[in-house]
Chains A and B, each alone.
Chain A
Amino acid sequence: MIRHFLHTKNINAISVLSYFISIKDDGNMPISLEYKAKNELLQKFPKIETCLKCNTCALVCPVQYAGFSPTNTYVNNIFSSREPEKNPNIWLCVSCHKCEEICPYEVKPPEVIEALKDEAFEKGYAPEAIREEINQVLTTGYAFPIFQSLHFINRERERRGVEPLGERKVGEIRKIAKKTGLENKMVGVRPR
């Protein structure tokens, strides 16, 4: 599997070599024995235990550019800390699912990282950018910040010959958010 993968055009010998040189071995267990919710996590995602630490996932992870090796993001960096849900690095995961596709043992790292994010969000550890983005969706119906009013955006749209944007159905989004309980979780976020 790995040999086959290495023969595809995306990974050459140099990148593999430079990757292995970049691994920092800090002697941590892949899943910290101290992590309180470990058993719960293993029960929920039993596939974690089949992880061989073969590092195949690490080769394809874009987070390797963020200053630490991806072995640290998934197995070490995240699970070796006492409270992985507090680890700010979980938020760098793009959910690109490349690790999931390449894994020879069908461990699904994104599922675990998503579960940790979920837990972190519940406990209020999510970074401002994430909370602000959700707030943005709830209050405007757009995921990206509308810095100025729609008027400003519509001026540019008019110049490009597309019809102006209107307000989105925020009322309906709020109704859904009330039912799912997200609105309560968002209490404390600065209202717009």
Chain B
Amino acid sequence: MTERYAFFRGCFVPVRLPQIEAITQKVFSDMGVSLVNLDDFTCCPEPVGVGINDKMMWLSLAARNLAVAEEKGLDIITICNGCTYTLRHACNALNSNKQLLNKVNETISDTGHEYKGKVKVSHFLEVLKNEIGTKRLKGAVEYPLSELTIATHTGCHLPSPKEVMKFDNPFDPTILDDLVAVLGATPADYDMKTMCCGWTLMTYGAREGAYALLKDKLSNMKLAQADCLTVVCPQCFYQFDMGQWIASRKDIPQYNLPVLFYLQLLGLAMGYNLQEIGYDSHKVKNPEFENKIKMR
């Protein structure tokens, strides 16, 4: 049985982190799920910058993206918390409000698209957990990562606000921990688990604050004996990887805590090597972690 999804890559992954896109395609095709790239997708659009400043534009562009997938008869899979946040908010708002739906459809009518309200948006974690299921996922793991203790960071925009996202408990997220345990690794129980990664502080002008936040989060992960940390959002990835690298050149200690996208870890557990999952492009590398991977 082949499941097919419209692959909503977003902006950040295809432009700056193509290695994550590559491993996503590999991992899902190995599990018999095909991800279809649709050229008509645009930016979701990004919720903090565009979404807040022009709600109508935000909803309309999102509705257009939803319509693009709907016309192909496919459900959407995303690999970014921000995209999931935008598209699910749009789904939620448009499906529950007929008047708004008509207004938005009128706005996008010039582009030749129309959203009818039949698309389901899933973050890849939801697909792994609900559609593929832990049983099938366990079957795909050939090289369990039993040597590793992994700190998980689910991020902000996937679990909150919970009445819209309906994903996990924002103050005690467990889904990512469970999925890490499926790979044979031990999830690290660390303090400040639900605190933001600090990406917005970094990009909108409070860099020093972002460094302090990173320092607290990373030192807590180290205290919990983590060998690496895992994320499910490209912005969190970039912040923990590039941000950690930049911060370590300032006054925070060298934590050398490698960051892996969850699908990269899954790739490792399925038998891909560090080069194949794109580890060579990471800013933060740690020989101890690499040895543990080689021993798996």
Contact = CB atoms under 8 A, between A and B. Distances in A.
Interface in B10-51: 11-12, 14-16, 18-19, 21-22, 25, 37, 39-51
A142 to B, nearest CB: 4
Contact of A97 (B170, B204, B212): B170
Given A101-B161, A179-B107, A66 B49 contact: no
B110 A153 contact: no
Contacts of A141: 42-43
Given A129-B203, A141-B43, A60 B16 contact: no
Interface in B153-194: 156-157, 160-162, 170-172, 189, 191-194
A96 B198 CA distance: 11
B160 A8 contact: no
Contacts of B57: 176-177, 180, 182
Interface stretch (A30-38, A42-50, A77-85, A167-175): A167-175
Contacts of B195: 10, 60, 62
A118 B46 contact: no
Interface in B67-124: 107-108, 110-111, 113
A146 interface: yes
Contacts of A153: 14-15, 18
Given A143-B46, A162-B25, A180-B57, A66 B209 contact: yes
B196 A10 contact: no
A68 to B, nearest CB: 9
Nearest to B21: A162
A102 B54 CA distance: 27
A180 B107 contact: yes
B45 A137 contact: yes
A141 B252 CA distance: 36
What 5 pairs between A and B have smallest CB-CB spacing? A96-B156, A66-B209, A62-B196, A97-B160, A66-B206
12 contacts: A10-B171, A10-B194, A60-B194, A66-B208, A67-B208, A91-B204, A95-B51, A97-B156, A127-B205, A153-B18, A160-B19, A172-B42
